[in-house]
Amino acid sequence: MSALEPTDIHDQVQAFADGELSPEEADTFRVHLGTCAQCQADLDDILQLQALSSRLVDVEQQEVAPAPPPRQEAEPRRAFRPAWSRRNRVAAAALAGSLAAVLALVVLRSPGLSTGQGAEALALAPTRSLEARLSWEGASAHRPYGVLRSGEERPRELVPLQKLAKLEEAGDLHGLATGHLLRGEREQAAEYLQRAPASPDVDSDRAVVALSKGELEEALILLDGVLEKHPRHPQALWNRALVLRELGLDAVAADAFDAVAALGEPGWAEEAKERASALRRNLEGQRGTWEEAGKAGKLLATQGTPFPDALARAVPGTARNWFNISVWAAPTPERVKALLPLARVLDAHYGGDTLERYATRVAGLDFQRRGPLAERFLQVLLGTFDMKGLDAYVRELSATGNSDLLLGVLPLAGQLPARIAEYEQAAKTLGDPWLLLNGERERAMGEYTRGDLAGAEARLLRALAECQAAKADFRCAQVEHLLSHIYKDEHRLVEAREHAMAGLEWARRTQEWTLQADLLLVMGDMARFRNAFALTRAYLQEQALRDRGCAAQRHVHESLASLHVFALRPQAARAELERAPACELPLFLNGAFVLADLARLDSRPDDVERVRDGLKKLDAAGWLRPGERVMATHIEGRAVSTRDAEAGRALLRQAISDGARLGPADPVAAKARAYSYSSLILDAGNRQDWAGALALFAEELGAPVPSRCEVGVEVHDERTVVAARGASGELLGHSDASRRSPDFDVTKLVPAPLVSALKPCEHVRVFARYPVHGQAGLLPAELAWSYVAGAKRVAPSVSAPRPLLVHDVAAPASLGLPRLRSWSQPAEPSPRRVELTGAAATPSRLLAELADATEVEIHAHGLVNLGVSDASLLVMAPEAGGRYALTAGEVRRQQLKGAPVVLLGACQAARTAPYLHAPWSLPVAFAEAGARAVIASPIDIPDAEAGPFFSRVMQRIRSGTPAAVALRDERIRVLSSQPDSWVKTVVVFE
């Protein structure tokens, strides 16, 4: 060791403060400084005293600190460990800032900074506190990730305010956002990123903010957008891997980290490899444990090989199933007694002594009679049993007191749910909740297959409560899985997601590998149903990596192909469809749907025949439930229309008729009916049959045939149809198939000639389907127009109006919403007026008061929270149990006997859920419940202006002016002085 070098790293503090250490020594000392309290205190003292002589001022004013004066070569560096008095410490602290601010400046300015980005770099510590990667070059270099395990708040970078001021002065909004994000100030960071010029780097950092706030879907959308145009963007690749991991999609996340590692960036590549390896170890551990449990269970049942206790505790559901199978397969009482240790392990997990008592009872049975029956059960298990003798075997089991074997025979022989009564009787005799719950699930499966979704739902909800009480984890996951399927089919996506996530939690906790994959598939379908394509791809890709089965792989490819169709990329859709493996069936329903569209978008000679053949085989194999048969008819009509328009129209009409016969209780049939109307409207528009198109719009809603001042708009894939009757009843229309992107400008959908024909109308009624319904700006502001949201409502003849006014709502403090201005608008005097305010304005109270109201005004916060509602929701005061949201689903279930005009003075109240088969929003829900008119906006609205504007609109309506006319008149008045006012976005639904 050189005489010039200190013998102890603690002695380097003065040299570090003076900038005398080499870059390597400085890096080493920074690492030490982060954990050494003594060195931090000494450095604090040194820097504080430097401040007394104005050296700190010099550091702040200069971009780079001056080099220290040269020393004599022969003079050794002095080891410096000061022992300052308390008085000096206090004086220094009083005259200078804290260690945090000063240390930030020193590390920012000191030579050898690891970022290599120059003086603007914000790498202020040897380790980073954010897992995510930042794109701004001053904070983009690699530093190891390191946080404390104390459970305290996440560490923040020491970014001085002076530095932020410099960035703001320079107009570097991206750098300013980065500084705030490193300081833990997410909202400020989000604000600056929103104002920064758009770029892939800015979008990647916006995703980091979303990730830090738990907004995983928003983060994924931003990152997928970056990577679509810049597939090797290193920060976006890294951050996408983090988002996928947070979603629980470890297999896809590992692949994403592999993509980062392939870029070969120093530091980042090594960390990416480590993270990918850790994720795969975890996944392979789960898969391996589950597979090991399956092998151990088979050995237990067939050979009596003991099932390892640790494995039973790790995968208790699989172990319990194999325990039962092994009892049924045991040929001797000794084999049953050998199961008692496993019974005790499982009883300890589930509570009670159910399995030990069962094994003890079976061991005491007459095995001269049971032994041969058990041997035949083993044949059923191994697939060697002659199924011709099944009925006789079942009768013998029932007659000999060994009916418990039926609980294994009937499922393994594929006799459920057909022989569910025999299964349930055997389960009741045994009295084991595990098997009773399976009976309920199998019966619900039968109801689901027959199309009785309501019956299946009610049964499964009862079973779920029993399952949770019994702590029957595996059964709970199975029940949640089937419930999520039912809610998905009914398009109750919030409930579907709730139950799928609950099932995933059960499955992950008990390491049930295949059940996890099944639930991921449901999650992907739910995301696809609401057009959340980034999430859809992520879930389906994860499922594809986990389940290599033919049916699962085909489902994934068909679903991904459907996303390409929606994005109007038919060649990509066909390529995805062709990558699907050839399974027992040539395609599933979703694949048939894609192929029917490709017959129009990217036609090949055999497309129609492939659709028809595939649908026939699906039906013959018994895969189609009643509603799915209606959907199959629609798909066939959709495909056939490309070749034989008349035959296609006949099939579409049949789908409408069959769907109406099954009714709204079958949601798949209802979707098929809606899709068929869409296809017929587009066909009419293609033939320029404007009267026929308008008649179809009205027929679907049960409204009178349009005669004047009405317009219908349909936008689907590449096609647009607009049909109208003008002020004199004249027919006009427009049809084209020119769109090459799903995006469109709603203000340009209705051509100028049609608008001119509608201008003389006192009120224009608009028939529109998703994605147009509910959007603002479809027609010019000077027209009085409204969306038709159902059959026409007639105002009730009441002797005394009953207004309902909701204002000054005490929203939950946990939401952090700003308090709205107090209601001060004069209301019409009415002795029957009901006002809900403060803590009394709860969802249940509001729903109760809505029933008899003849006029409704709701002034409250509106939110879009997909965890609570598919459409926007109203924020009310919390109930005793914490419920605060008034959702569209709850409103639709009410009966508004007073046929009120409803004013929703809340942000985004008219925002429509992205359902392809029907418009769905709060206004639509109020209209379906009985409101004759609903007024709302799909955007955020200013609190200060909303009250006065809506009050004047309601005054006009009370004076007898129709809602659309009242809105138009007040809108024109405001726009005359404020041409860009938000009032242009307010829409009427009637």
| Residue 298 token pair | 């088979």
Query: What does the pLDDT read at residue 822?
Result: 77
H/E segment holding residue 850: helix 843-850
Query: What does the pLDDT read at residue 420?
Result: 95
Cβ atoms within 10 Å of 684's Cβ, excluding its own: 25
Relative to beta strand 855-859, strand 803-809 is parallel
Among 157, 1, 178, CA closest to 79: 1
Q: What are phi and psi of 789, to 5 degrees?
A: -120, 15
Query: What does the pLDDT read at residue 491?
Result: 79
| Residue 87 token pair | 């008085």
Please give the single-letter amino acid code of residue 678. S
Give the HSE-up count for residue 786: Cα atoms under 13 Å, Cβ half-sphere: 24
Among 544, 553, 559, CA closest to 593: 559
Distance between CA atoms of residues 453 and 495, nearest Å: 14
Query: What does the pLDDT read at residue 104?
Result: 36
| Residue 82 token pair | 């000061």
Among 437, 522, 539, CA closest to 484: 522
Query: What does the pLDDT read at residue 828?
Result: 62
Query: What does the pLDDT read at residue 816?
Result: 82
| Residue 964 token pair | 């659309």
| Residue 604 token pair | 């090949």
Query: What does the pLDDT read at residue 73?
Result: 35
Supply the DSSP symbol for 792.
P
Query: What does the pLDDT read at residue 763?
Result: 96
Question: Alpha-carbon dihedral of residues 277, 280, 286, 288, nearest 10 degrees?
Answer: -90
With tokens 């990509």, the residue in question is 572
Query: What does the pLDDT read at residue 65?
Result: 38
Distance between CA atoms of residues 418 and 118, nearest Å: 75
816 contact partners, CB below 8 Å, separation of at least 6: none
Query: What does the pLDDT read at residue 236?
Result: 98
Bridge partners (DSSP) listed for residue 766: 711, 787
Contact 834, 802 (CB under 8 A): yes
Distance between CA atoms of residues 247 and 535, nearest Å: 9
Question: Alpha-carbon dihedral of residues 842, 843, 848, 854, nearest 10 degrees?
Answer: 100
Q: What is the 3-state secondary structure (H, E, C) of 59-85?
A: HHHCCCCCCCCCCCCCCCCCCCCCCCC
Q: How deeply is 566 buried, as exposed, middle or buried, from its count of CB atoms within 10 A (0-12, 13-18, 19+)?
A: middle
Integer CA distances (angstroms), 940 to 67, 513, 753, 821, 907, in order: 55, 44, 32, 15, 4
Query: What does the pLDDT read at residue 866?
Result: 53
With tokens 């061991």, the residue in question is 363
**What are the start-end ranges of the H helices in 490-579?**
493-509, 513-529, 533-546, 550-566, 570-579
| Residue 977 token pair | 């002085």
Distance between CA atoms of residues 772 and 52, nearest Å: 68
Find the angle CA(350)-CA(501)-CA(259) to the nearest 5 degrees. Answer: 115
Bridge partners (DSSP) listed for residue 838: 809
Query: What does the pLDDT read at residue 820?
Result: 82
> DSSP for 641-701?
TTT-HHHHHHHHHHHHHHHHHH-TTSHHHHHHHHHHHHHHHHHHHHTT-HHHHHHHHHHHH
Q: What is the mean pLDDT for each group of 10 consecutive residues in the chain (990 residues)?
A: 47 68 65 63 55 37 38 33 33 35 35 35 69 92 74 62 87 93 91 95 97 94 96 98 97 97 97 97 96 98 97 97 98 98 97 96 96 97 95 92 95 94 94 96 93 92 94 96 91 88 95 94 88 91 90 93 94 95 91 97 96 96 94 98 96 97 90 96 97 96 93 95 96 94 92 96 94 92 92 58 90 84 66 88 93 91 66 85 85 90 85 72 89 90 87 92 96 94 93
Among 203, 175, 180, 37, CA closest to 115: 175
The gap between the terminal CA atoms of the chain, to the nearest Å, is 88
Distance between CA atoms of residues 7 and 10, nearest Å: 9
Query: What does the pLDDT read at residue 734?
Result: 97
Distance between CA atoms of residues 171 and 162, nearest Å: 14
**What are the start-end ranges of the H helices in 143-214?**
161-170, 173-182, 186-195, 200-212
The number of residues making up the chain comes to 990
Bridge partners (DSSP) listed for residue 786: 765
Contact 359, 343 (CB under 8 A): yes
Distance between CA atoms of residues 817 and 906, nearest Å: 13
Per-residue burial over 235-245, b = 16 or more CB atoms within 10 Å of its CB, e = otherwise: bbbbbbbbbbb
Phi-psi sector, 307: left (phi>0), alpha (psi -120 to 50), beta:
beta
Cβ atoms within 10 Å of 609's Cβ, excluding its own: 12
Distance between CA atoms of residues 18 and 402, nearest Å: 88
Among 506, 608, 516, 589, CA closest to 551: 589
179 contact partners, CB below 8 Å, separation of at least 6: 122, 159, 163, 164, 167
Query: What does the pLDDT read at residue 374?
Result: 97
Distance between CA atoms of residues 286 and 307, nearest Å: 18
Distance between CA atoms of residues 37 and 277, nearest Å: 35
Cβ atoms within 10 Å of 540's Cβ, excluding its own: 26
Query: What does the pLDDT read at residue 721?
Result: 97
| Residue 959 token pair | 């004076």
Query: What does the pLDDT read at residue 798?
Result: 55
